[in-house]
Amino acid sequence: MSKYIKSVLLRKNKPIILFLVKFFTSYFLLLGIYSFYLNRSQVKKNSVFSCATITKNAAEQAAGITRFFGYNSQVIQHDKELSMKVLVNDAYVARVIEGCNSVSVIILFLSFIIAFQGSVKATLIFGSLGSVLIYITNLIRIAILSVGLYKYPKQETLFHDLIFPAIVYGMVFILWIIWVNKFSNYSKK
């Protein structure tokens, strides 16, 4: 391939290449920071298990939502794995693992808006508000899922694998569309 063709291809695909570089750089940087946090904050030694604080908090806050709606809900550290047991009316209905605390989805969300660059102010505000919205939606997801599994245990696959991921990822997709169309440097202002 000639230097001219390479130069044309590079120029033509420069926005795509820059997006990919920014996305993967920010994604792996944020993921590295989160992995460092997990390695420092969760315990899995011998027969002692303790989830990271963010996972514990997400489980406790979701249980608080179910209690607000009149269900006797509690969360306890699982004694055989890194998860939090969710009990509704004393029935063990679900477990909250590291992947349920919404941090990995927030990292994906933030990496996209960083890659689809906007002003620093817009990125910080939209990134913060979007992250909080994702976190709160996830807490509501855990709460409703817990009650749903308590009432309809045979619908676990439908609830956990289909409906609730569609809601959370659908919301992230909508936030991305809003970001690109309203706040990024690519928007048609």
**Residue ranges per structural domain of the chain:** 17-183
Rg of the chain over Cα atoms, rounded to whole angstroms, equals: 20
Binned at pLDDT 50, 70 and 90, residue 1 comes out as: low
Binned at pLDDT 50, 70 and 90, residue 87 comes out as: very high
Q: Are the C-beta atoms of 26 and 106 separated by less than 8 Å?
A: no
Binned at pLDDT 50, 70 and 90, residue 7 comes out as: low
Kindly report the average pLDDT of the chain as a whole number.
91
Please give the average per-residue pLDDT across 120-135, as a whole number. Answer: 97
Q: pLDDT by residue (tens digit) across 29-47? A: 999 999 999 999 998 887 8
pTM of the model: 0.89
In this predicted structure, the answer to whether residue 17 has a pLDDT above a threshold of 90 is: no
How many other CB atoms sit within 10 Å of the CB of residue 17? Answer: 12
Binned at pLDDT 50, 70 and 90, residue 8 comes out as: low
Q: Are the C-beta atoms of 161 and 123 separated by less than 8 Å?
A: no
Residue 92: strand pairing partners: 87
